Each structure stands twice: as structure tokens, then as C-alpha cells.
Structure 1
Amino acid sequence: MPHTRSRRGLPEAFEFEGSGDAARDWLEQAFGARLRLAGELGDVRHHRTDHGTVAFDHLSIGGRVTFDADALPTLVVVDVLGGSITYTRDGATDTAHDGETILASGWQMPFTGNGECYDIRLTSITGDLLAAAVAEIDPARSGPDARFRSYVPHSQAAAARWRATVDELAASFPDVSAVLGHADASLLLGHTLLDTFPNDVVDGFTRAGARGELYGDSPSAVRRALNVIEDRADQELTLEQLASTVAVTPRALQYAFRKELGCTPQDYLRRVRLDLARQSLRDGSSDSVGDAAARFGFFNPGRFASDYRQVFDENPGQTMQRNPS
């Protein structure tokens, strides 16, 4: 079982371990909806960390399962850590494999699907948080009324940004007693979700040219910096350049990242680039491990391999061997 902090921020203690009807009942209670799980399931392990407006779950199912679920009371994003899982909702069917991200369904939307021997991380966002994130972009809207045009990320960089953000927040989410830090982290996650999946809230803005207009005078320098990192993840980008682009000093940006994400801007950028390197090995767009490393700014092979193992619990070559082509 993965246990490093970097590897998706997974906790070591699980709230439930079991199988059969006990597992079915547990999961329906945990997610607050009828899931209608069918199949052998195998061994089921589940852990949840709940922060009020945001919850992080780690779920592994050891057998083949199908589901025909009612609408969930939260919006749920799934990061696949192992195996694969398929969702059908709103007439669209999408499958995510290890290292990929998928939106289980739109807001208050039932869904069906299946998977076999999969290991996933789920991030749940309440309607109140989604509504707050939407209102910051378009104050004329009321409620969590975002309509998603696709349930897969709009780009590999967007997916890498989402996973890097969840990695850090799942590992060090501000305590609810730190009101400002907790609220900032929650809104950061809400906006990251809206920036990850195509939707009618942000689609009216160009991602490259109008990010500043989209968020106006938002106090979150981190939020603006994450947009820049997504857009320029494959380019040379120093701390000074990043800080200048979001109109703060390097020291202020470092402080903001520490406060909201618990890491430095450089650490976050490295994590996004490692994810992009992994995607390129997984989909065959890089011809070799060295090609993937150099493509995303890693010019020390030993350091790249070490960082990669720490985050993904495997060597880059092992990822490449699973290239479906």
C-alpha cells in the first residue's frame, strides 16, 4: 500500500475494510445515495477525510463491480491510482485508467458504470462551495448551476494541475479553526475544478488571454499562479518570472503557496511536470524515459527517476511498459 506523502496524499488508516453486503451498505451510507453495486466486489477498503465543504476518499475494490447510482449530494472528481473505471452520465461514456482523472457526473446527476480491481481517490465538493466558486466568476449566477460540457479534463496540463492541487491539499488541508486558510483552500479547489473540466461558467473566457479578467481582483495569488503554471508547464518558468506574471513579489508568492497549499511554487511546478512526464510515458507521446524527462525540464536522469519513484511508487520505465499501444 502506498504510504508516502507525495503519492496522492493517501492516509494510512482506513475507516472500513470488508466485502459483500457489508461493503455495499457502507459505501451507500458513506456517499449518501443508492449506488446499486452489483458484482463480487472482492475486498473493499475505504477511508474518508472530511473537511466540511471538501472531502477526500480513498477507495479500493478488489473485484469486478457495476453500479447504477442515484445523484450524489456532492460533485465528485475521481483520480484513478490503479486499474480503470467507466462512467456513463448525460449520454456520455468515459473511461479513466491509472494516472487519469474523470468527473463522475454533473451536479445532481445520476450515473452508471463499472470497473474491476481499481484503486481510486475521490474528491467531493459540496453545492455551497461550488456555488461560491461560480459566484466569484459570475456574480449574476445563483447556486451551483455549472453545466459541464465534458467530464474529462480539457487538457493534460489541466489534469496535472488538478492532481497536484489535490495531492497537496489532501496531505495538509488547513484546519477548520483557521477560518481564512480553510476558506481559501476550499475556494482554490472549487476554482481548480472549474478550470479543469469544460463548463459554461468559464468557457466564455479565453484560457490563455483573459485569466486575469476572469478572476478580477481575487486575493489569491496562488489561484492566478496555478493558471500560469497550467499554461506554461512545458516552458522555462522561474520563481521570479511566475511572481512577476501574477504581480506579486517572489517572497509573497512563496508565502501564499505555503499558506494555501503547504508547498513552494517550485515544488508544485515540479509535481505538475512529473505528472505530465508520466502521462507522456503512459500514452506513448514520448519515445523514451529520457525524452519524457527532457521534454518537461528534467535534465538530471538520476534526480528525475528518484522524484518520479517518490511520487508514483514506480520507476518511469514501469509506467512506459503499460503503454497500451
Structure 2
Amino acid sequence: MPQSRSRRGSPDSFGFEGSGDEARAWLDTVYGTELRVSSGLGVVKHDRIDHGDVVFDHVRIDASYSFDSDPMPMLVVVDVLSGMYEFAHDGVTDRITDGGSALVAGWDMPFSGSADHPVQRTTSLSWDVMLAAVEDADPQHPRRHIIFTSYVPRSPAAGARWRATVDQVGAMLPGDATPAQEHAAARLLGHTLLHTFANNVVVRPSLPGEHADDVDDSPSTVQRASRIIEDHASEDLTLGELARECNVTPRALQYAFRTHLGCTPQDYLRRVRLDLARQALRDGSAETVTDAAIRNGFFNPGRFAAYYRDQYDENPGDTLSRTTTP
């Protein structure tokens, strides 16, 4: 049965553990649609933190199954922590394994697919948040006619940037977050989503110097800095250089990151680099741990291994061995 909800100011936090028809009904209810799961579900464990316009879920499903879903009432991104998903939209199927991300629902998009014992984090954003993000990106755009041309990140760095932003926003929002804090977090996530998945609103990433509003310690400064980090993650990017590209002082840049992501720009850059290194170890593009570390800006093997263990709770060599083991 669902655990009782507890409310401490904002947000709502609640969870569920169950199986079979009970689990199926629970997932339909919390995601606001009919998933039409074709086979029996094993044990489902679900925890949610609901900030209104932004909802964070952690879900574990101990089963292999397929699904055919109606559109969901919010735009939903799945980050796969382990297991596998296949999502089909518009005749295109994307296969997502641990460490990957996919845009799976929203904007009147039905979807289907299959899963194999997935453990996932989902981030859901309301229509109001996404329409505001569209207006920020292009005030002249007919806001209700956004078209996504890909449902996976447009590059490995874009995916790393998305996951790093969700990590930090989720960690820094307090249990008693004010409406203003929740609005700022939602605005940042909406903007990041538009720059992660290819669409007809953001035709290309914004370049340094293009927006006059990116010159303070507001979320727009974090947005600009994160886009620069995405484009130059593997390069020797200092705080001073990043601040200059954003047209702010290093102090203002640090304050913006502390305010809106709860970390320093250096912490965020390291998180993006670690994600890219993990992708390289998982997909076989790096033959050794040292190769993955160096190509992503880590030149001290011991320090890289320590950062990696702290972030992923395993040694980088363990990740590589799963890729290379027949």
C-alpha cells in the first residue's frame, strides 16, 4: 500500500512499494496517464518529491515488461541509473542504458517501448514551466507548437550537463522551499531541457555575448555558464575564463551557482566531466581508465578515482570491466 504522505511546508514527499495490479494502478495515478503495461510487474518501489511545477521521482521496477502509453500531463525526462529502456516515438526507437537519458513524454506525445529491470530518476516539468522556457528562448515563437526532433540528448556533453543540473537542483532545493526558489529551479531546468533535446525553438546553442540579460547573478548566468561548460568540458577552463565568457566577475559567477545550484562552478564542471568519463568507460570509446580520465580533463589518476568513487559508489575500473566482459 502507498506510504502515508508527509508534508513539511513544501514539497509533498511520498512513496510506494507494491506489485502487480496495485503497482500498475499506482504508476498510472502518479504519472497521470494510462501506461498499459503488457506483462506482470514485479516489485515497484517509488519515491517522489513534488515541488509543484517540478517533480522528482526515483523508481525501481523489478521486472521486464513492455508498455504503450498515452501522453502525460507534464514533460518527463528519464535518467536511467541501471537496467535498460527502449522508447519509441514517431517510429523512432531509442535504447537507453545506465547513465543515459531520454525525453519520454509530454507535448501530446504518446509513446511505447520496453524495459528490463530499470532503476530510474525522472524529472517532470509542467506545461507552464516549459511555455515560459520557450518564451525565454524565443519570444516570437508560437509557444504551443514546439517540436522535438530527437528524444535523446543532442550530444554526450549535453546529456552530462542535463544530469549535472538535475543533480544539483534536486540536492539544493530545501524541503521548505519558497515559491520563488521553486520558480527559479523550474526556470533553470526548463531552459536546460530545451538546450538538451533538439527542437524547433532552440535551433542552436547560444554563444557567449548573445544575450544582454546574461550579465548578473541570475539563473541566466548559470544557464550561459553551463552551456559554455558543455562546449568546453574537456578543456582547461578556469573560473576567471568562464566568468569572462559570461560577462560577470568570478565572485558573481560563484554566487549565481551557489544560489541556483548549491555548488561552485568548479564543482559543476567536475560533475559534467565525471559523467562524460563514465559514458566513455561504458560505451567502450575509452580503452583504459587513464584514457577516459585524461580526455575529460583529469590528469591525476588517484584524484580522478576518488572523485569517481564518491559520485558513483564504484571504482572506474569496475565500470570499464562491465563493458569489456563478454
TM-score (norm 2): 0.90
- SS of 2:88's equivalent in the other structure is strand
- SS of 1:259's equivalent in the other structure is helix
1:65–1:114 Cα contact (<8 Å) kept: yes
Per the TM alignment, residue 14 of structure 1 is displaced from its structure 2 partner at its CA by 6.2
1:46–1:59 Cα contact (<8 Å) kept: yes
Note the 1:167-316 alignment, pairs <5 A.
167-173=167-173, 178-203=178-203, 205=204, 207=205, 210=207, 212-213=209-210, 215-218=211-214, 219=218, 220-316=220-316
Give, as a single letter, the amino acid of the residue that structure 2 aligns with 1:65.
Answer: Y
2:137–2:191 Cα contact (<8 Å) kept: no
What is the distance in 1 between the residues matched to 2:209 and 2:74?
29
What is the distance in 2 between the residues matched to 1:64 and 1:119?
12
Per the TM alignment, residue 38 of structure 1 is displaced from its structure 2 partner at its CA by 2.3
Give, as a single letter, the amino acid of the residue that structure 2 aligns with 1:36.
Answer: R
Unaligned runs of 5+ in 2: 1-12
What is the distance in 1 between the residues matched to 2:123 and 2:260?
17
Cα displacement string for residues 247-306 of structure 1 (whole angstroms, at most 9, x for unaligned residues): 111111111000000000000000000000011111111120011111112122222111
2:281–2:319 Cα contact (<8 Å) kept: yes
Partner of 2:4: none
1:43–1:63 Cα contact (<8 Å) kept: yes
- SS of 1:104's equivalent in the other structure is strand
Per the TM alignment, residue 144 of structure 1 is displaced from its structure 2 partner at its CA by 4.3
- SS of 1:140's equivalent in the other structure is coil
Partner of 2:5: none
Partner of 1:9: none
Between stretches 174-183 and 80-89, larger displacement belongs to: 174-183
Q: Residues 260 and 175 from structure 1, CA distance in 2 versus in 1: closer, same or farther, beyond 3 angstroms?
A: farther
Per the TM alignment, residue 180 of structure 1 is displaced from its structure 2 partner at its CA by 3.6
1:128–1:144 Cα contact (<8 Å) kept: no
Per the TM alignment, residue 111 of structure 1 is displaced from its structure 2 partner at its CA by 0.7
What is the distance in 2 between the residues matched to 1:217 and 1:70?
38
Cα displacement string for residues 175-222 of structure 1 (whole angstroms, at most 9, x for unaligned residues): 67534433222111001000001100011x4x3x64543x54244211
Partner of 2:99: 99
What is the distance in 2 between the residues matched to 1:188 and 1:288?
35
Cα displacement string for residues 69-120 of structure 1 (whole angstroms, at most 9, x for unaligned residues): 1110011111000011011112211110000111113511111111111101
What is the distance in 1 between the residues matched to 2:247 and 2:284?
38
What is the distance in 2 between the residues matched to 1:39 and 1:59?
18
Partner of 2:87: 87
Q: Residues 144 and 77 from structure 1, CA distance in 2 versus in 1: closer, same or farther, beyond 3 angstroms?
A: farther
- SS of 1:85's equivalent in the other structure is strand
Give, as a single letter, the amino acid of the residue that structure 2 aligns with 1:217.
Answer: D
Unaligned runs of 5+ in 1: 1-12
- SS of 1:187's equivalent in the other structure is helix
Partner of 2:10: none
Per the TM alignment, residue 43 of structure 1 is displaced from its structure 2 partner at its CA by 1.0
Partner of 2:45: 45
- SS of 1:108's equivalent in the other structure is coil
- SS of 1:39's equivalent in the other structure is coil
Percent identical:
54
**RMSD between superposed Cα atoms in Å:** 1.8
Partner of 1:122: 122
Cα displacement string for residues 218-237 of structure 1 (whole angstroms, at most 9, x for unaligned residues): 44211110010001001000
Partner of 1:32: 32
Give, as a single letter, the amino acid of the residue that structure 1 aligns with 2:124.
Answer: S
1:128–1:143 Cα contact (<8 Å) kept: no
What is the distance in 2 between the residues matched to 1:137 and 1:44?
38
2:36–2:69 Cα contact (<8 Å) kept: yes
What is the distance in 1 between the residues matched to 2:135 and 2:174?
23
Q: Give the number of aligned pairs.
A: 309
Find out whether 1:66 has 2:62 as its counterpart: no
1:131–1:142 Cα contact (<8 Å) kept: no
Give, as a single letter, the amino acid of the residue that structure 1 aligns with 2:130.
Answer: L
- SS of 1:152's equivalent in the other structure is coil
Per the TM alignment, residue 174 of structure 1 is displaced from its structure 2 partner at its CA by 5.5
Between stretches 54-63 and 298-307, larger displacement belongs to: 298-307
What is the distance in 2 between the residues matched to 1:140 and 1:174?
35
2:208–2:246 Cα contact (<8 Å) kept: no
